[in-house]
Structure 1
Amino acid sequence: MGKEIERKFLVKEGAWQPKDKGTTIRQGYLSSVKERVVRVRTKGEKAFITIKGITKGISRSEFEYQIPVEDADPLLTNLCEQPLIEKTRYKEVCGNHTWEIDVFFGSNLGLIVAEVELKDETELLELPNWVGEEVSSDPRYFNSNLIQNPYEKWGRG
């Protein structure tokens, strides 16, 4: 069984800059109920379908399979919940970990989140200086929830 152990943090405003052009991601959800999330994603020139179980702490079951891009596009347009999640993903290596920094646009413009996958929940983690508040347990930051309650509607000060 696949398992995802991930911590998620906000990126401090102005403290991080991309080092490359990143990868454009479009993703939508065929199911966004917390017990089973089914996601369709295009990532650059590839496409995937991913099934995730309920989050327990910072872990959950995860199964991901590559699918044809020509199948992903109509799934995203016609069957997925709207709005789609649109973002550019950048990768940064810090210590023994590769961080994924997602810069959102569309309905979630202004949101920048850094994620890092771990081998186990107790693994020690060196935090880069651009990492801010941890939001691993805050469901507002789950991509599947950003379709129901996009960042643009949060009413930030």
Structure 2
Amino acid sequence: MGKEIERKFLIKETEWNSFAKPEGKLLRQGYLVSDPNKTIRVRTTENAAWITIKGISTGASRLEYEYEIPLKEGLELLDQFAESELEKIRYEIPHEGKIWEVDVFSGDNAGLIVAEIELESEEENFQLPAWVAEEVTHEKKYYNSCLTIHPYKSWTPR
């Protein structure tokens, strides 16, 4: 059984902008099923594609099954079956023995930047990088599947 334990955070924009980053990867991500209890998504990069099935979140945990698929098939699934999609640049940042994934969204979600960290347990301790701000793990509006339906540009300013 696959299980994902992930926490999400907003970033401190000034610190993030001045931080030396590795090259990011452009991700195209679309949802074949986007339901409160489950999602099925396809994600592509320039060279690869994956299909991912996720269950309902309980705390910071949920069931997750991810499989690499041929890029051509991933693009066809996005083009023919995706109900909604988004694009973002993902940066993988090592920090204190963990990898932080920082997503800089574009299109209707431009201006939103979210940092995620995957953990071994919900109780695991970890160090926050200087550019990490408040936690938004339990705010559904930050889920990628929600961002495709209710994009950042339509939000009322915080």
State the TM bucket, normalised to the shorter chain.
over 0.9
1:18, distance to aligned residue in structure 2 (A): 5.0
Contact 1:26 1:87 in 2 (8 A): yes
Identical residues among aligned pairs (%): 50
- State how far apart, in whole Å, the 2-side matches of 1:66 and 1:131 are: 30
Superposed CA deviations along residues 53-91 of structure 1, whole A, max 9, x for unmatched, are 000000000000111111111211221012x21000001
Q: TM-score, normalised by structure 1?
A: 0.96
CA RMSD of aligned residues (A): 1.1
Q: TM-score, normalised by structure 2?
A: 0.95
Question: Are residues 28 and 18 of structure 1, via their aligned partners in 2, closer, same or farther at CA, if it must alter by over 3 Å?
Answer: farther
How many residues end up aligned between the 2 structures? 156
- Which residue does the alignment assign to 1:100? 101
- Which residue does the alignment assign to 1:129? 130
Query: Which ranges in structure 2 are unaligned for 5 or more consecutive residues?
Result: none
Q: Which sits farther off after the overlay, 63-72 or 9-18?
A: 9-18
Q: Does 1:2 align with 2:2?
A: yes
Please identify which structure carries the higher helix content.
2
Q: Which sits farther off after the overlay, 1-10 or 16-25?
A: 16-25
Q: What does residue range 59-138 of structure 1 map to in structure 2 within 5 Å? A: 59-82=61-84, 84-138=85-139
Superposed CA deviations along residues 99-154 of structure 1, whole A, max 9, x for unmatched, are 00000001100000000000000000111111011000000000010011000100
Q: What does residue range 51-66 of structure 1 map to in structure 2 within 5 Å? A: 51-66=53-68
Contact 2:22 2:93 in 1 (8 A): no
